[in-house]
Amino acid sequence: MQNKESLLSPEDTAYYNHNGYYLYKKPLFSEQKLNILTNIFEEHLELKGAKLSDELDTPHFRDERLLEFLLADEVLDLVEPIIGPNIGLWSSHFISKEPVVGRATPWHEDSAYWKGRVSSFDRIVTVWLAIDRSNQENGCMRVIPGTHNNGFSEYEDVDKSTNLFRSQVKNIDDSQAVYFELERGECSLHDSRIIHGAKANTSPHRRCGYTMRYFSTETQVIPERNQNHKVWLARGRDIAGSQFENV
């Protein structure tokens, strides 16, 4: 971001650090670029086979066209004020909740699913890009502010047929939730440790988002715990000695 005006002000970054999230209520990509990404998603949706629409994980492993978006300055300029200039691409995921039948995403911390895979969680951020309009009606994401400072939570089992995951964080007070309502093309950012989830989509409108996840390269990706998982050096240099793919 040298010689560029930051996309996040110091106040925005302070808000993120305090609350564990930030809503970026501006278009992330141009309309033309967003349309290209949407078309790529629609291709993946058509070819998904028996997978459910919310299970299109790490699509960039199979389709390198997505790297044009994941490694784009538009995203990295948004991420850099939060995690610094040395940025690794951790993962991405199309999460599409189909009308009426879209499953709930139970309360969880992303970091709980990555235990032992990275050396620390304090500078991992997810950019959640709205491919469709996302609101309370169609099951937008929601978070419990400030919970990124609480450490790992206790979990209990839930019904996988109606939930994206098999477990959820225990004893959450839903009245504390902040709902991420986004127009198409807008995005949110959240810390890997914050408690978040989404209600089921019982509306007639699809809710698709593309998550793009990044980490400071001061965090090491542990090779023996990440077999068949690929990471890319998105910007800057490798500090901790992770094994990055060639761009």
What domains does the chain contain, in order, with CATH numbers?
A: 10-235 (2.60.120.620)
- pLDDT band for 4, please (50, 70, 90 cuts): low
Q: What confidence tens digit (pLDDT) does each residue in 71-128 have?
A: 999 999 999 999 999 999 999 999 999 999 999 999 999 999 999 999 999 999 999 9
Q: How far apart are the first and last CA of the chain?
A: 20
Q: What confidence tens digit (pLDDT) does each residue in 193-247 have?
A: 999 999 999 999 999 999 999 999 999 999 999 999 999 999 999 999 999 998 7
Q: Which pLDDT value is given to residue 211? A: 97
The pTM for the full model equals: 0.94
CB atoms within 10 A of CB 159: 10
Q: What confidence tens digit (pLDDT) does each residue in 27-51 have?
A: 999 999 999 999 999 999 999 877 7
What distance in Å separates the CA atoms of residue 94 and residue 18, rounded to the nearest whole number?
Answer: 28
What distance in Å separates the CA atoms of residue 89 and residue 92, rounded to the nearest whole number?
Answer: 8
Is 131:184 a contact under the CB 8 Å cutoff?
yes
What distance in Å separates the CA atoms of residue 66 and residue 230, rounded to the nearest whole number?
Answer: 14
In the 8-state DSSP scheme, what is residue 127? E
Q: Which of 128, 127, 28, 123 is nearest to 84 (CA)?
A: 123
pLDDT higher than 60, residue 1: no
What distance in Å separates the CA atoms of residue 83 and residue 79, rounded to the nearest whole number?
Answer: 6
Q: Which pLDDT value is given to residue 6? A: 82
Is 201:94 a contact under the CB 8 Å cutoff?
no
Kindly state the tokens that stand for 162: 């109606």
* Strand segments (E) across the chain: 21-24, 56-57, 87-97, 105-108, 124-130, 141-143, 155-157, 167-169, 178-179, 187-191, 196-198, 207-216, 232-235
